[in-house]
Amino acid sequence: MTHPKSIVAGNWKMNGLSDSIAQLDALAGMLDKGVKADCDVLICPPFTLLSAFAMQTPTSVAIGAQDCHMNSSGAHTGDISAEMIKDTGASYVIIGHSERRADHGETNEIVSAKAKAAIHIGLKAIICVGETESQRDAGQTLSVVLSQVIDSIPSDASADDFIIAYEPVWAIGTGRTPTVQDVADVHAAIRKQLVDRFTEAGKGIAILYGGSVKPSNADELMSVENVNGALVGGASLKAEDFNGIIDAYRK
């Protein structure tokens, strides 16, 4: 049966200066202890550190960006294209994080166009979806998340081109997490959607959970069916904490 490779991904957001490379080195040292062969480890630093990280990255850690522009070049002051990201040596890019959707008005249509640009250049897109607290309270979680999945994946994408990160907006950076049953229900619904669209190959697309993952809850969350890894914000900034989450894939 097709089974996704797990990924533990760290999203550093707008954090990190040049001396933060020490955290990458420390993490690489900890990974020498070994991780299950079917688990990849990824760090997504801010653009300013992307080249340095990608140049110095040990083979045990993949590097990704946190956003890209939908166009390949041109008059877009302050923006970064997928090709520029690829040129640093990075291999992944997060697209449609809820902070981008909220702070920069990124709609599913924009997310899809950005993912298309990333995929076109050979980056793996991590497409983020997730409901707000008011949407959850209104009983709209599944309809919101599934419409984000349907509309954010580019129409010409194949199953190898992207992974999905389910991140309830209200769980990001708050210390709150959904129940294991809630996570299982949403991931099962996303899996069904992926299988409906990509048939057997849809079973091989990783679906990450994100939102206040830390060493103390990683084991429980990562053992939920259809959870194929984590997208981690705050707890990815320190190698020791991030390594404690990766421990869920050492058993």
Catalytic residue positions, numbered: 97, 167
Applying CB under 6 A, which of residues 16, 93, 167, 183 lies at the interface with ligand PEP? 167
Burial string for 134-146 (b: 16+ CB within 10 Å, else e) reads ebbeeeebeebbb
The distance of closest approach from Cβ of residue 97 to ligand PEP in the complex, given in angstroms and rounded to an integer, is: 6
Q: Is 178 in the site for ligand PEP (CB under 6 A)?
A: no
Could you say which of 42, 208, 231, 239 contacts ligand PEP (CB under 6 A)? 231
* β partners of residue 63: 43
Of the ranges 19-27, 76-84, 136-144, 165-173, which one interacts with ligand PEP (CB under 6 A)? 165-173
Instruction: Tell which one of 6, 11, 66, 226 touches ligand PEP (CB under 6 A).
Output: 11
Regarding 131 and contact with ligand PEP (CB under 6 A), the answer is no
Token pair belonging to 9: 């991904």
Instruction: Give CA angle at 64 (4, 85), nearest 5°.
Output: 125
Query: In this chain, which of 173, 200, 216, 240 binds ligand PEP, going by CB under 6 A?
Result: 173
Q: From residue 112, give the alpha-carbon distance in Å to each of 71, 78, 150, 156.
A: 12, 20, 10, 10
Closest-by-Cβ residue to ligand PEP is 233
Note whether 177 binds ligand PEP by CB under 6 A: no
Closest CA to 177 of 216, 145, 144: 216
Q: Does 212 bind ligand PEP (CB under 6 A)?
A: yes
232 belongs to the binding site for ligand PEP (CB under 6 A)? yes
The dihedral through the CA atoms of 214, 184, 31, 233 has a sign that is negative
Q: How far is the CB of 212 from ligand PEP (least distance, A)?
A: 4
Whether residue 93 contacts residue 85, with contact meaning beta carbons closer than 8 Å, is answered with: yes
Cα–Cα distance measured from residue 167 to residue 187, given in angstroms and rounded to the nearest whole number: 11
Residue among 7 and 213 whose Cβ is closer to ligand PEP = 213
Rounded distance, CA 85 to CA 98, Å? 21
229 is a contact residue toward ligand PEP (CB under 6 A): no
Asked if residue 213 binds ligand PEP (CB under 6 A), the reply is: yes
Site for ligand PEP in 54-83 (CB under 6 A): none
Residues near 157 by beta carbon (within 8 Å), at least 6 away in sequence: 115, 116, 119, 125
- Interface residues with ligand PEP (CB under 6 A)? 11, 167, 172-173, 210-213, 231-235
